[in-house]
Structure 1
Amino acid sequence: MAKEPDALEAIVMAEARFHGEGYQEGYVEGTHAGTIEGRQYGIQQGAKIGLEIGSYLGFSMTWLGLLHKHSDDKHSKKIKVLESLIELIQKFPHQNPTYDRLQEDLDRIRGRFKQVCSLLHVSSDFRLSREGSALSF
């Protein structure tokens, strides 16, 4: 014969049951909210990196065009370094967010950009803000 549940036991065990149910609901909700927040953060950071790299590419292409117009032997080193920066940017994996050497390659691009700025005697002060990017010369 099956034993009927004791009313007193149900009351005593209610706290543990509600605690477990609340934990499960909170875990599911937190996982969902974390996924949404992580996606938004990833989009935001990706946009910042894209803006930075795009600015470097535009800067490099412009200077390369200017130096080719006034091409002589004294600009050959500048042109080579600009071309290597453009090559690094073009090889950067824009479509692969799981690329394991993303930070290393980004640091390499930033270093080459600073080298280019030094050779061109231009300030490399690059800032990202809500208003957009700012290269100050």
Structure 2
Amino acid sequence: MAESVLLERQGRWDDDIFHAVTMSEESSWQQGYADGFKEGRKREFEEGHHLGVQKGLEIGREIGFYVGFASQVLKKTDTGKMKVIKVSKAIISLASKFPEIDPTDEALTDTLGKIQGKFKQLTSLLGVQTQYTSGSVKGTSF
């Protein structure tokens, strides 16, 4: 809308040689606003992309830890411990469905919570004190 008003004004003031001088502040402000808006959108996209990659990496590491732990438990556990095997397979199953979830969907946090709960259940069944904390493992005692 501001552009149409400016064009309309320019049409009326084309013959006035002083119009460019008197309107220089307004045209400069409009150009600065347009440039700033364009740069802001660019930075917003870059920041959002960076944050998405960072958070995705954190979640991927966490889920990878849980799946790796459950896979090792499955390899080392004898068939007599059916509950341990069942929980380990549930962790792997939930994690395999995880990439299919849209990042804007609430199911992402629900599924991650289920995986974390199953992991706690598995460590309890095994009697080990292990927990995943932002890229590191605390208290592994086996």
Alignment map for 1:79-90 (pairs within 5 Å): 79-90=85-96
Deviations 1:34-90 (A, max 9, x none): 11121111111111111111110110011111113xx32xx2112111111111111
Equivalent residue for 1:41, pick from 41, 51, 63: 51
RMSD: 2.1
Return the TM-score normalized by structure 2.
Answer: 0.77
Give ranges in structure 2 of 5+ residues lacking alignment. 1-11
Q: Is the 1:85–1:112 contact (alpha carbons within 8 Å) kept by the matching residues of 2?
A: yes
Give ranges in structure 1 of 5+ residues lacking alignment. none
C-alpha distance in structure 2 between counterparts of 1:54 and 1:65, whole Å: 16
1:106 aligns with 2:112: yes
Q: Is the 1:126–1:136 contact (alpha carbons within 8 Å) kept by the matching residues of 2?
A: no
Identity of aligned pairs, percent?
A: 35
C-alpha distance in structure 1 between counterparts of 2:102 and 2:47, whole Å: 16
Structure-2 residue corresponding to 1:65: 75
Q: Is the 1:64–1:82 contact (alpha carbons within 8 Å) kept by the matching residues of 2?
A: yes
Equivalent residue for 2:124, pick from 118, 123, 128: 118
Return the TM-score normalized by structure 1.
Answer: 0.79
Structure-1 residue corresponding to 2:16: 5
SS at structure 2 position matched to 1:93: helix
Q: Is the 1:93–1:99 contact (alpha carbons within 8 Å) kept by the matching residues of 2?
A: no
